């Protein structure tokens, strides 16, 4: 098992490996204020956190912060914009294991049957569909860490380079997890992990009492993703 190191050339590393670590994007006080605001928020919560966090004013403002938006636009182009945010709140009270997978479902403004898209679902009133690889290649997630993510509290694990292989079957993902050395991605609070949605990734259960709150913000090159399909802001 390897450990991800701080990345100096973020755009190039995202192209080659599918992920990159930025260790000091935000200050401790900024993260503490946002964490407190989210704790006080009346947005619907599940045991795992908040699904559609872009509805929170502080999250929406953070998503447009130039420290994040600048990275997204370096990778996706000058028109890149945030469209969805999710708070993952892993703790001893709410602890879970995530198996190896890719992120392929996108929130859409309306359901419109389109070749290559599906299956469809509805999550908290928002239509979702699994997207083809050609669309997901124009998406980037920036994971802002409100707490330290360590080897002990269930950090993200990735299989470098798998973002170039398209949308994979469960069987193919399982095979790759045996063939490619996984990389653990511990990130200090205030740090950011950039990742492509098609990189195969997972996380273990936390083994300690320390919380691991991560704000996962997704960006796209354009809100119009295919003929007649437009991303929903969630």
Neighbours of 145 (CB within 10 A): 26
Q: What is the pLDDT of residue 7?
A: 61
Class of domain 2-230: mainly beta
Cα angle value 17/31/92 (rounded, 5°): 80
pLDDT value of position 2: 73
Dmax (CA) of the chain: 47
Q: Give the integer Cα–Cα distance in Å for 148 and 133.
A: 32
pLDDT, one tens digit for every residue, the chain (234 residues):
676 655 668 989 999 999 999 998 999 999 999 999 999 999 999 888 999 999 999 999 999 999 999 999 999 999 999 999 999 998 777 877 889 999 999 999 999 999 999 999 999 999 999 999 999 999 999 999 999 999 988 899 999 999 999 999 999 999 999 999 999 999 999 999 999 999 999 998 888 888 899 999 999 999 999 989 999 999
Q: Which residues contact 207 (CB under 8 A, 6 or more apart)?
A: 152, 153, 154
pLDDT of residue 1: 60
Q: What is the pLDDT of residue 131?
A: 98
pLDDT on residue 143 = 98
β-bridge partners, 196: none
Q: Which residues of 38-52 are buried (b: 16+ CB within 10 A; e: fewer)?
A: beebebebeeebbbb
Residue 208: the pLDDT is 87
pTM for this one? 0.95
- The tokens for 156 are 């993200």
pLDDT of residue 8: 65
Map residue 169 onto helix, strand or coil. coil
């Amino acid at each position: 098992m390897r450990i991800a190191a701080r990345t100096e050339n973020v755009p190039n590393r995202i192209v080659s490996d599918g992920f990159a670590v930025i260790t000091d994007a935000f200050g401790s006080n900024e993260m503490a204020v946002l964490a407190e605001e989210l704790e006080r928020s009346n947005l619907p919560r599940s045991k795992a956190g908040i699904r559609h966090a872009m509805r929170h004013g502080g999250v929406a403002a953070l998503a447009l912060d130039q420290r994040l938006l600048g990275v997204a636009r370096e990778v996706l182009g000058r028109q890149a914009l945030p469209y969805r945010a999710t708070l993952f709140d892993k703790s001893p009270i709410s602890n879970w294991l995530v198996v190896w997978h890719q992120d392929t479902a996108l929130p859409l403004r309306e359901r419109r049957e389109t070749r290559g898209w599906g299956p469809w679902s509805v999550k908290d009133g928002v239509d979702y569909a699994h997207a083809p690889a050609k669309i997901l290649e124009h998406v980037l997630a920036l994971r802002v860490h409100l707490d330290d993510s360590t080897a002990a509290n269930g950090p993200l694990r990735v299989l470098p380079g798998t973002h170039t292989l398209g949308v994979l079957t469960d069987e193919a993902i399982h095979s790759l997890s045996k063939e490619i050395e996984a990389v653990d991605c511990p990130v200090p609070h205030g740090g950011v992990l950039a990742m492509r949605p098609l990189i195969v990734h997972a996380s273990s259960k936390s083994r300690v009492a320390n919380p691991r709150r991560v704000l996962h913000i997704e960006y796209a090159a354009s809100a119009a993703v295919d003929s007649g399909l437009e991303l929903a802001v969630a």
